[in-house]
A and B are shown apart, each in its own frame.
Chain A
């Protein structure tokens, strides 16, 4: 049914963000439009129906509704999930709360922070997802060879189940030591618990994340159990309300790695949709790359509070299985590998006591927002600086719905920054941009240079409300020669929901070295993972002919603790194919870490199969071609704007994006205004519009110089 939907229906992508709920709607003839409503935090479903009715889309005509939601991560961050219990191997129930004994994980500034709060049950603590009294132990033990050392004490487990019943536990996670090697005990525990606790969902660690490291596996399993009842209720409510209004289509969800899963499956494995928002934006970039034939892209998604940077190579973004939620909980399922920092339009600038200008990570949010909004904010923000640099049109912000006040921006920057630093207003505004751009550049470097990729091979895609304002200067700073601005930068993430395929990833621990591994055993293991994947996709309605299977193995030099994911060819494996995989590993290791160790043995840790189930994509209709290269019809005026190259304000042409047509050429400096953002095109740049309305910009090759002031 997924593979052969009626071609007459509407397709809708809904992305729920902190401030706005964004829609991208494709009508039956392939025209795209966008819609935006304010998010309704008390009940997220409200905003969905408000937006749908605002857009006038007939609910009965929608064949496909893809959804990205922060419901899961909100539940974890706000500790608003179900009353969940954990069952572990005797002696190990505290692994969840002890974690790995770290108190500074992602923020280097925590090294000397004695006031930090950890996810532990104490006065001032941030609470674990499951408190100690709800963590139970049963006698059982599997050893490092996968052999049973202590048999599962079923009577004890039934006793625990009775306690859980008395405690009215709403969800249960089971995590036994070494269950990734031998899941027999976990399986049996699952049977017993389901029998004793009918209707209570049970999450088993070997099903959620069958890999080594007990804390990491337990934490991921617990997150699944913790959010499951809430996500299930949410999805059931959403679907029943849709159906009441005549909806007959398919509801799907974006997973954290950019693939889609159907709603029934998401109710079983909600842990996969936790980070769906950032993944959707990257999925849109991958699609844009394929659409425009651009293989290597850097994705820059800048909103009100954060900037997210991701690298897309050969049309694909990498995933990571090493993700922390707020430094509190480890999430080991594949998540689109991106860097997120506190740098957006609402990010605040301040002068510290040592006289340095700092930008972020604190944000003015949408309330009170930047000073220039005139909503009571007095702290200078990045948006205030962008306004004073001449980038934003005070009369055309959100299409004129919200006039900006340059005098308030100037006052905020003068009082808080220019005066204490002893510099001019212009210099202070410029300083904010320089520093916030430096912070974002650092993220771009983390994703590119630090992993052995040369930014010169990439095209930067700027989107989100503020991405297009900063993209060109950032690109020049890190040496990216080309930029791509999608037609709908503001709702681009919601578009990602409509252009992604169904995805299922199966994995299995396979501990061996490449030298000792039996190619036959490897082939069989991959075969089993492939049938599991095909089964999962078939269950979600995908026909075999629409499935693509990809194999990979996580490898490392014997003794290392961190693996590199290496692609593995399909079909039966032979010694020759194993050698090929080894060679790829050496090459990747050298690329990432500057050396290879040909003499060392290579360990296989995990085998993975990724299944992609093709979903029909929007077939956007090309825009009508312009009559000539000159965009004079779209030119709406000019104003003074500051550019880094000349180091001063220059007269800059302003264009209306809605009037630009394929074939138009724009020479920088220029500003291109559209409803939800402004594109800043520096002097020396040359831009053209493609047939789908994407703007491709090439920067001049002139290097940037550090400026000196007397």
Chain B
């Protein structure tokens, strides 16, 4: 770690000699192990359950340009914006001003970031005086200040209400804690007792990564490591390009909507994606998306980029190692000042989760005609952000929690959708908290946590199921914030599949009245004895429900996840009176009748919202993919 000489030095070129591919493959493997080890340190040493129970963090390493070399199992929306955050930090601080022992802290959405609770920590690692790599991680802190406990306001109208902005600053300078930065930060958050420890865990994770990188440098030299990093990126780029070049070239477009921005509650927010596939590249144009809105669902350009990358990585072979090379075939443009490319100081906290989801939803539906076996019907389409804070009656200390209960993923071309997954687009590693840990840490009580029946969108393949969760504060009044979506506009079905059941959020007051039903975004004081009811959305169905195997419907009914009524009305399946088997003749007759009289439009008008209905109808209108199109689709990877 001792600096020897200054400035970045490159080893002299070795002419046309190249390192054998096996050595590079070995070093790549070592590089990919580093973020995994960092993640393990972060999980095990952090304090707030959002890190160590929920896994809402990501680890990666970047080269001196800020290009990502390798990542851990983590959270794609966080990861996709880390590159722009790291690049912003490098640009603002300057590579030449960084020294061994420095640690950078940064969370500003308007400097490449996503939203304020996600705090990025990066640490330069030097070899023989030259900066070679940055181990970095980003973690979602329980609270970062602002108007609502948990810093996930559903009603903010400016970023200044969402918490404290941290431009790229040195949290440690040459190994020494920058007390001023630290203390200023702690004075502006509700739960400094958590944040102090969690930042230390983030720094410890970078140190773990740094130690491992230095060992590699000593053994292989910086030049060979840099060569291996380039090799890894080029390799991933080739793989992604190969996949894209098999897609049918053309321009595809789709619009999906957010329920509202939380402020103007009766106006849905339009997200329009136009995707152009050409050769081995793919371009995204978001013109036609709504202008930015007053409420907290604006996405920064970083979030837009991240959602776009995530959409494409999910449609290509998931075994391709993820690094900057994967991003090279992807380009995007979006109107400045639109809801997907917001201008300072618009509020953005939900843009990172809700709008991020909707961008990916729009891309998948746009590509559904050419990749019918790769895409899924729409998933829950929200992170279902719920947070609360208040004085803990057991300790007197202020507590904050932020959680995201699991919901359904979309049905697939050959099977049902996965159910009960935390934030369907969060990569699958984030978890819901253990309820026993939840009650141990926070003064709350769970009454029910169960599968939500009839939440999966009916289809030949059914959408994944959402959950029901009922909770109450214990012996105190809590301030609860909800920032979710898909409360009105359900996740779409594909090719004749029906939408998944929308989510639901209710505050059941002592008086017996219910509040919050119409909102999905907002804040409520909840008194002891009052109950919060949450139901996360299910995923959309795939293919006509009249084509579903009646025995699969029977199994769902016997397991109580599809009601006999829905079996009959949606799937056209009639059960025998004892409910133990399918009445085959009655089912055949009913299915014939339903197929004849089913008017697709009416199915989606049940909420009386014409605009939503039109939107859904278009999605369902992709009823039958032409056979020639399906042949272009490489199908799911093995």
Q: B130-138, B339-347, B557-565: which one contacts chain A? A: B557-565
| A132 interface hit (Cβ, 8 Å) | yes
Q: Which of A95, A431, A442 contacts B22 (CB 8 A)?
A: A431
Residue of A nearest to B76 (CB): A111
Number of A residues with CB within 8 Å of any CB on chain B: 85
- Nearest-neighbour CB distance to chain B for A688, whole angstroms, equals 30
| A450 interface hit (Cβ, 8 Å) | yes
Q: Which residues of A contact B174 (CB under 8 A)?
A: none
B420-440 with Cβ < 8 A to chain A: 420-422, 427-432, 434-437, 439-440
Q: A267-275, A484-492, A625-633, A702-710: which one contacts chain B? A: A702-710
| B46 interface hit (Cβ, 8 Å) | yes
Q: Which residues of A contact B450 (CB under 8 A)?
A: 91-94, 98
Q: Are A143 and B445 in contact (CB under 8 A)?
A: yes
- The distance in angstroms between the C-alpha atoms of A557 and B21, with both chains bound, is 45
- The distance in angstroms between the C-alpha atoms of A97 and B194, with both chains bound, is 31
**Of listed B40, B316, B436, B437, residue having the most chain A CB within 10 A:** B436
Q: Are A595 and B449 in contact (CB under 8 A)?
A: no
- Nearest-neighbour CB distance to chain A for B196, whole angstroms, equals 10
Residue of A nearest to B320 (CB): A354
Q: A71-79, A101-109, A672-680: which one contacts chain B? A: A101-109
Q: Which residues of A contact B16 (CB under 8 A)?
A: 710
- The distance in angstroms between the C-alpha atoms of A507 and B228, with both chains bound, is 48
Given A178-B436, A557-B47, A597-B197, answer yes or no on A103-B23 (Cβ-Cβ < 8 Å). no
Pairs across A and B, CB under 8 Å, 30 listed: A92-B449, A98-B406, A98-B467, A103-B428, A105-B429, A111-B427, A118-B421, A120-B419, A120-B420, A122-B419, A133-B560, A143-B439, A353-B242, A355-B21, A355-B238, A356-B25, A431-B21, A431-B25, A434-B26, A446-B33, A449-B212, A557-B197, A560-B47, A560-B197, A593-B45, A594-B207, A595-B200, A706-B224, A708-B20, A709-B17
- The distance in angstroms between the C-alpha atoms of A354 and B323, with both chains bound, is 14
| A525 interface hit (Cβ, 8 Å) | no
B144-196 with Cβ < 8 A to chain A: 193-194
Q: Which residues of B contact A123 (CB under 8 A)?
A: 415-416, 461-462, 549, 552
Residue of B nearest to A107 (CB): B73
Q: Are A593 and B204 in contact (CB under 8 A)?
A: yes
Q: Which of B33, B409, B421, B427 contacts A442 (CB 8 A)?
A: B33
Q: Which residues of B contact A122 (CB under 8 A)?
A: 415-417, 419, 462, 464, 552, 556
Q: Which of B37, B48, B436, B560 contacts A212 (CB 8 A)?
A: B436
Residue of A nearest to B207 (CB): A594
Q: Are A111 and B197 in contact (CB under 8 A)?
A: no
Q: Are B19 and A706 in contact (CB under 8 A)?
A: yes
| B220 interface hit (Cβ, 8 Å) | yes
**Of listed B208, B320, B450, B552, residue having the most chain A CB within 10 A:** B450
- The distance in angstroms between the C-alpha atoms of A405 and B564, with both chains bound, is 62
- Nearest-neighbour CB distance to chain A for B350, whole angstroms, equals 20
**A residues near B, CB below 8 A?**
90-95, 97-105, 107-118, 120-125, 131-133, 143-144, 177-178, 212-216, 352-357, 421, 423, 427, 430-431, 434-435, 438-439, 442, 445-446, 449-450, 511, 557-562, 589, 592-595, 597, 600, 703, 706-710
- The distance in angstroms between the C-alpha atoms of A397 and B187, with both chains bound, is 71
| B477 interface hit (Cβ, 8 Å) | no
Q: Are B432 and A121 in contact (CB under 8 A)?
A: no
Q: Are B318 and A594 in contact (CB under 8 A)?
A: no
Q: Are B47 and A132 in contact (CB under 8 A)?
A: no
- Nearest-neighbour CB distance to chain A for B467, whole angstroms, equals 6
- Nearest-neighbour CB distance to chain A for B446, whole angstroms, equals 8
- The distance in angstroms between the C-alpha atoms of A356 and B25, with both chains bound, is 8
B360-389 with Cβ < 8 A to chain A: 374, 376
Q: Are A427 and B20 in contact (CB under 8 A)?
A: yes
Given A91-B449, A561-B53, A708-B20, answer yes or no on A120-B418 (Cβ-Cβ < 8 Å). yes
- Nearest-neighbour CB distance to chain B for A503, whole angstroms, equals 26
Q: Are A104 and B30 in contact (CB under 8 A)?
A: no
Q: Which of A112, A597, A708 contacts B313 (CB 8 A)?
A: A112
Q: Are B29 and A439 in contact (CB under 8 A)?
A: yes
B201-224 with Cβ < 8 A to chain A: 204, 207-208, 211-212, 215, 219-220, 224
Q: Which of B20, B44, B72, B238 contacts A560 (CB 8 A)?
A: B44
Q: Which of B36, B48, B215, B637 contacts A559 (CB 8 A)?
A: B48
Q: Are B429 and A104 in contact (CB under 8 A)?
A: yes
- Nearest-neighbour CB distance to chain B for A75, whole angstroms, equals 22
Q: Are A102 and B415 in contact (CB under 8 A)?
A: no
Q: Are A113 and B318 in contact (CB under 8 A)?
A: yes
Q: Are A118 and B419 in contact (CB under 8 A)?
A: yes
Q: Which residues of B contact A91 (CB under 8 A)?
A: 446-450, 470
Given A91-B448, A103-B418, answer yes or no on A435-B200 (Cβ-Cβ < 8 Å). no
- The distance in angstroms between the C-alpha atoms of A116 and B76, with both chains bound, is 17
Q: Are B47 and A438 in contact (CB under 8 A)?
A: no
- Nearest-neighbour CB distance to chain B for A404, whole angstroms, equals 24
Q: Which residues of B contact A449 (CB under 8 A)?
A: 212, 215
| B314 interface hit (Cβ, 8 Å) | yes
Given A91-B449, A102-B429, answer yes or no on A109-B435 (Cβ-Cβ < 8 Å). no
Residue of A nearest to B635 (CB): A115
| B52 interface hit (Cβ, 8 Å) | yes
Q: Which residues of A contact B320 (CB under 8 A)?
A: 354
| B451 interface hit (Cβ, 8 Å) | yes
Convert B555-580 into 0s and 1s, putting 1 for each residue whose CB lies closer than 8 angstroms to a CB of A. 11011110000000000000000000
- The distance in angstroms between the C-alpha atoms of A112 and B317, with both chains bound, is 8
- The distance in angstroms between the C-alpha atoms of A593 and B45, with both chains bound, is 7
Q: Are A212 and B434 in contact (CB under 8 A)?
A: yes
Residue of A nearest to B224 (CB): A706
| B289 interface hit (Cβ, 8 Å) | no
14 additional contacts (CB under 8 A) given A100-B431, A449-B212, A450-B40: A98-B467, A102-B422, A104-B427, A110-B318, A111-B73, A111-B428, A112-B310, A125-B415, A144-B439, A353-B239, A435-B29, A446-B33, A593-B204, A706-B220
Q: Which residues of A contact B20 (CB under 8 A)?
A: 427, 431, 707-709
Q: Which residues of B contact A703 (CB under 8 A)?
A: 219
- Nearest-neighbour CB distance to chain B for A693, whole angstroms, equals 35
Q: Are A594 and B41 in contact (CB under 8 A)?
A: yes
Q: Which residues of A contact B73 (CB under 8 A)?
A: 104, 107-108, 110-111
Residue of B nearest to A117 (CB): B415
Given A120-B418, A435-B25, A560-B44, answer yes or no on A98-B560 (Cβ-Cβ < 8 Å). no
Residue of A nearest to B237 (CB): A354
Q: Are B422 and A706 in contact (CB under 8 A)?
A: no
Q: Are A215 and B314 in contact (CB under 8 A)?
A: no
Q: Which residues of B contact A212 (CB under 8 A)?
A: 434, 436-437, 440
- The distance in angstroms between the C-alpha atoms of A445 and B211, with both chains bound, is 13
Q: Which residues of A contact B22 (CB under 8 A)?
A: 357, 427, 430-431, 434-435
Q: Are B429 and A356 in contact (CB under 8 A)?
A: no
Chain A to chain B: the 6 pairs with minimum beta-carbon distance, closest first: A124-B415, A104-B428, A101-B406, A561-B52, A91-B448, A103-B428
Q: Are B558 and A133 in contact (CB under 8 A)?
A: yes
Residue of B nearest to A212 (CB): B436
- The distance in angstroms between the C-alpha atoms of A439 and B26, with both chains bound, is 8
Q: Which of A421, A594, A600 contacts B208 (CB 8 A)?
A: A594
Q: Which residues of A contact B224 (CB under 8 A)?
A: 706
Given A100-B431, A557-B47, A557-B197, answer yes or no on A108-B405 (Cβ-Cβ < 8 Å). no
| B319 interface hit (Cβ, 8 Å) | yes
- The distance in angstroms between the C-alpha atoms of A50 and B436, with both chains bound, is 50
Q: Are A103 and B421 in contact (CB under 8 A)?
A: yes
- The distance in angstroms between the C-alpha atoms of A355 and B239, with both chains bound, is 9
Residue of A nearest to B200 (CB): A595
Q: Which residues of A contact B421 (CB under 8 A)?
A: 101-103, 118
Q: Are A216 and B434 in contact (CB under 8 A)?
A: yes
Q: Which residues of B contact A592 (CB under 8 A)?
A: 44
Q: Are A438 and B29 in contact (CB under 8 A)?
A: yes
Q: Are B239 and A132 in contact (CB under 8 A)?
A: no
Residue of A nearest to B79 (CB): A111
**Of listed B194, B417, B419, residue having the most chain A CB within 10 A:** B419
- Nearest-neighbour CB distance to chain A for B372, whole angstroms, equals 13
